[in-house]
Amino acid sequence: MTVEIDSRKWCQGQVVELYRWAERLYSLRVEAEIEPFEAGQFGRLALPVGEELISRPYSFVNAPDERPLDFYFIVVPGGKLTPRLANLGPGDVVWVSRRGAGIFTLSHVPSGRYLWMLATGTALGPFLSILKTETPWQRFEKIVLVHGVRTAAELAYREVIQGFHRQHPRQLIDFACVTREDTPDTIHARITTAIEDSTLESKAGIVLRPEDCQVMICGNPAMVKDAIALLKARGFQENLRKQPGQITTERYW
């Protein structure tokens, strides 16, 4: 039995590379002729499974003008799609939504002096896509990128971040928060703990306050929820369509 695929919605992508960063952590690089998207948005990846086309959203890691498309994902044990994505190899077909979607983009973030980007795990992806464009560097005086992971082996895309440092040496501050290991040059704490005890602020030399900071948060829903609560206690407000604020979020599940 074959699955019927709506060609108005899906285009056939070809896997260029499946790169393994650590146990269960991969980047899937795909050539597909999708429509233009905005940095920070996500596309959908899909595979036929039996009589069904199983699809899930994945943030673009590549900049809008960069190819191949780059998706950074973790295998969820027992998950419907991710164990299958992790079995793909060069030349295999994966279906990609023609259009990107989502409002986790700088065009939805009000102006500010400092931009904070807080990510857990694979949610580093949309921030990398945004940082590969000129917009954040033109709009914000300083950018603080914080990546929360469990182990140092999960600190993917470090060379891309080093490239941002080389290009924007006075603008970028980046921190890795590693929870399960005490690793040199990292913060041994959850992102939320490092907000609460002011570690991030004191290391960045920037006060985390709504007067001049915009905060984008992406990833684990528990981290997003807890970070929102901590920031609200400092006077921040969520950035809603009808009421602009300083906290813009995207939850991955």
d(CA 86, CA 253): 19
The helix (run of H) or strand (run of E) holding residue 203 is: helix 199-204
For the chain, what is the total number of helices (H) and then of strands (E)? 7, 11
Q: How far is CA 114 from CA 10, 57, 178, in A?
A: 38, 29, 23
Residue 94 is classified by DSSP as: E
Alpha carbon 22 to chain centroid, angstroms: 17
Chosen residue from 37, 73, 95, 157 binding ligand FAD by CB under 6 A = 73
Chosen residue from 23, 31, 33, 76 binding ligand FAD by CB under 6 A = 76
Asked if 126 and 37 touch (Cβ cutoff 8 Å), the reply is no
Task: Name the residue nearer to ligand FAD (CB basis): 34 or 213.
Answer: 34
Task: Name the residue nearer to ligand FAD (CB basis): 106 or 213.
Answer: 106
Task: Name the residue nearer to ligand FAD (CB basis): 73 or 116.
Answer: 73
Chosen residue from 10, 47, 62, 72 binding ligand FAD by CB under 6 A = 72
Q: How far apart are the first and last CA of the chain?
A: 31
Chosen residue from 57, 64, 68, 210 binding ligand FAD by CB under 6 A = 57
Does position 157 interact with ligand FAD (CB under 6 A)? The reply is: no
Alpha carbon 162 to chain centroid, angstroms: 17
Chosen residue from 10, 13, 27, 42 binding ligand FAD by CB under 6 A = 42
Does position 252 interact with ligand FAD (CB under 6 A)? The reply is: yes
Task: Name the residue nearer to ligand FAD (CB basis): 37 or 42.
Answer: 42
**Binding site residues, ligand FAD, CB under 6 A:** 42, 56-59, 72-74, 76, 79-82, 102, 122, 125, 250, 252-253
